[in-house]
Amino acid sequence: MLSKSAVYLLAGVFALGLVQPGWAADQTKEAPEKKMEKTEEHARDGKGSEEIRKVQEALKAKGEDPGSIDGIMGKKTKAALKKFQEQNNLKATAMLDEQTAEKLGVQTTKPSKMKEEKK
């Protein structure tokens, strides 16, 4: 049995966050899932990016599977974008760049460096 002072010491250590009980450590592992739930919730609320929706629609029209047309750059959209880039001899970054957008027929809202230099 622990003495009263040992119990207070352990309680203080837990309160300060110096030691985490096993159940608390397990909860931190679930944090990314909760973040994903919020992202999916935003998609249902219609808060996804219109530009990403257009990219998803273009990928689908080109035969790729971007997943749901929700305006969220999720795992399936990134995988479809990377596959499209590979098939079109573009730098396969799974990120939307000017060349990829041009091949997809999608206009981006970010001005390109080349367009800025020509002005």
CA distance 28 to 31: 5
Task: State the pLDDT confidence band at 61, using cuts at 50, 70 and 90.
Answer: very high
Flag whether pLDDT at 55 surpasses 80. Answer: yes
CA distance 89 to 22: 48
* CATH code of 46's domain: 1.10.101
The answer to whether position 31 is within a domain reads no
Instruction: Using CA atoms of 33, 37, 42, 44 in order, give the dihedral in degrees to the nearest 10.
Output: 140
CA distance 83 to 60: 12
pLDDT at 26: 55
Render pLDDT for 18-34 as a digit per residue (tens, 0 to 9).
656 565 555 555 445 54
Task: Please state whether the predicted TM-score (pTM) of the whole model is above 0.85.
Answer: no
CA distance 29 to 110: 35
Domain count, the chain: 1
The answer to whether position 20 is within a domain reads no
The answer to whether position 21 is within a domain reads no
Tell me which residue range forms the domain holding 75. Answer: 36-110
Flag whether pLDDT at 115 surpasses 70. Answer: no
The answer to whether position 78 is within a domain reads yes
